[in-house]
Amino acid sequence: MRCPFCKAGNNRVLDSRASADGFAIRRRRECTACGRRFTTYERIEESPIRVVKKDGSREPFERRKILMGLLKACEKRPVSMDTLEKIVTSVDQTVADQFEREVPSQFIGRLCMRELRKADKVGYVRFASVYRDFKDVAEFVDEVKPLLRTGAKRSKPRAPAAKTQGKGRKKKPKK
């Protein structure tokens, strides 16, 4: 297993333990070259989770595919590989914790969006524009608006986007 930071091949295991569900072994490793630490998960290969796409087709869940999508969204952005790897690991873990056999692609997309939003707003908007097939421009603007607002207020990192959802929103009149 190569170090995600310096790509050296040697590391030592500091700690091994079963994951919360008991179906994975979590190993905390330390690179012998650069001394940085990272975590690996060992899982049973026989029951891979499959991703159910919008059209109903299925494909194997692959970390690599998620990473490629994130890389594309963050092209030429100041986002480190480490950050993207962490997002993928977080998505991988959440999927593994919540789904047994199949996971909707929308779920994965939303997770990625949530994490990217914290890491890089431009990357997030790019990812969102590719991932979500926005029905029209207005819908996309709705998605981006709260970001622009939070961008203005730098002192407060927490996004107030949730306020616009739910009760406050006026219902559309029925035809």
Q: 9 is written with which tokens?
A: 């091949």
Is 74 near Zn ion (CB under 5 A)?
no
Q: How far is the CB of 7 from Zn ion (least distance, A)?
A: 7
Is 140 near Zn ion (CB under 5 A)?
no
Q: Contact at 8 Å (CB) between 5 and 29?
A: no
Which of 14, 18, 20, 34 binds Zn ion (CB under 5 A)? It is 34
Is 6 near Zn ion (CB under 5 A)?
yes
Is 13 near Zn ion (CB under 5 A)?
no
60 burial via Cβ count (<10 Å: 0-12, 13-18, 19+):
exposed
Strands 37-43 and 24-31: antiparallel
Which of 24, 31, 96, 128 binds Zn ion (CB under 5 A)? It is 31
The residue (of 10 and 16) whose beta carbon lies closer to Zn ion is 10
Residue 48: closest CA among 95, 108, 109: 95
Q: How far is the CB of 104 from Zn ion (least distance, A)?
A: 36
Q: How far is the CB of 154 from Zn ion (least distance, A)?
A: 34
Q: Half-sphere exposure of residue 11, counting CA atoms within 13 Å on the CB side? A: 24
Q: State in Å, rounded, how far the first CA of the chain is from the last one.
A: 60
Task: Tell me, by CB under 5 A, how many residues bind Zn ion.
Answer: 7
Is 8 near Zn ion (CB under 5 A)?
yes
List residues binding Zn ion (CB under 5 A): 3, 5-6, 8, 31, 33-34
